[in-house]
């Protein structure tokens, strides 16, 4: 079936607008054949033009993210600003830890753990070299590992306390801040 087409004048009369408005819409991208060709009358594919107008109106009042119109860009920007505010507020409340801080914490934990585990053999070798009782050796190793875990837990607790103090200090310095 061949698409129904009409002239600019006919289309303007059909939708109740003037021909200058139709010409503007054609320049904005409304489907038309021979539009802008000197000496040729533009022919408008009516169903395609109506679909284009409907899409244009939908985007004007309900822009989709990712479209290239000003309303969509404003909506995207407002969404980004709201996300940034939400993250800042979560950070102020102490609900969010920066990636760099977390990375530093884990690297510190791994370094402490590796150093202490590497030192177990040196610390226990001379003490247990002549120990014939396996239960005593096992108990001594467990005692050493418990000391390592306690030391590691204390280091992590120090980090958490430091973070908590920074949040409390920020809240004291900025009593009117949204937290």
* End-of-domain residue from the set 96, 114, 141: 96
pLDDT at 35: 62
| Nearest CA-CA partner of 30 in 40, 13, 19 | 19
Structure tokens belonging to residue 115: 């150093």
CB atoms closer than 10 angstroms to residue 8? 21
What tens digit of pLDDT does each residue of 91-107 get?
777 777 778 878 887 88
Count of the separate structural domains present in the chain = 3
Looking at the structure, tell me whether residues 115 and 140 fall in a common domain. Answer: yes
Looking at the structure, tell me whether residues 81 and 133 fall in a common domain. Answer: no
In a domain, 25, yes or no: yes
In a domain, 179, yes or no: no
pLDDT at 81: 93
Looking at the structure, tell me whether residues 120 and 166 fall in a common domain. Answer: yes
Looking at the structure, tell me whether residues 155 and 101 fall in a common domain. Answer: yes
Give the integer Cα–Cα distance in Å for 94 and 97. Answer: 7
Structure tokens belonging to residue 8: 């600019």
In a domain, 178, yes or no: no
Give the integer Cα–Cα distance in Å for 166 and 170. Answer: 6
Range of the domain at 47: 5-62
Looking at the structure, tell me whether residues 11 and 74 fall in a common domain. Answer: no
pLDDT at 118: 85
Average pLDDT over residues 42-50: 86
What tens digit of pLDDT does each residue of 155-178 get?
888 878 887 887 788 778 877 655
Looking at the structure, tell me whether residues 71 and 133 fall in a common domain. Answer: no
In a domain, 101, yes or no: yes
| Residue 8: C-alpha distances to residues 41, 53, 84, 120 (Å) | 8, 14, 48, 89
Name the pTM for this structure: 0.41
Is the separation of the CB atoms in 58 and 67 below 8 Å? Answer: no
Structure tokens belonging to residue 156: 């992590």
pLDDT at 116: 83
Strands 43-45 and 5-7 turn out to be antiparallel
Looking at the structure, tell me whether residues 105 and 168 fall in a common domain. Answer: yes
139-169: b (≥16 Cβ within 10 Å) or e: ebeeebeeebeeebeebeeebeeebeeeeee
Looking at the structure, tell me whether residues 25 and 50 fall in a common domain. Answer: yes
Residue 88 predicted with pLDDT over 60: yes
Average pLDDT over residues 21-26: 88
What tens digit of pLDDT does each residue of 113-159 get?
888 888 888 888 888 888 888 888 889 888 988 988 888 888 888 87
């Amino acid at each position: 079936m061949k698409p129904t087409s009409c002239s600019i004048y006919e289309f303007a009369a059909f939708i109740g607008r003037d021909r200058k408005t139709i010409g503007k819409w054609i320049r904005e991208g409304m489907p038309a054949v021979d539009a802008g060709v000197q000496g040729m009358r533009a022919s408008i594919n009516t169903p395609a033009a109506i679909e284009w107008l409907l899409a244009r109106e939908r985007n004007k009042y309900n822009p989709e993210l990712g479209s290239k119109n000003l309303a969509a860009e404003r909506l995207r920007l407002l969404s980004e600003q709201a996300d940034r505010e939400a993250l800042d507020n979560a950070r102020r409340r102490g609900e969010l830890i920066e990636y760099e801080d977390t990375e530093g914490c884990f690297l510190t934990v791994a370094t402490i753990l590796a150093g202490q585990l590497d030192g177990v053999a040196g610390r226990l070798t001379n003490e247990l070299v002549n120990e014939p009782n396996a239960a005593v050796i096992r108990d001594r190793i467990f005692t050493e590992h418990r000391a390592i875990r306690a030391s590691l837990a204390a280091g992590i607790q120090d980090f958490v306390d430091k973070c908590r103090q920074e949040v409390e200090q920020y809240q004291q310095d900025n009593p009117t801040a949204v937290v």
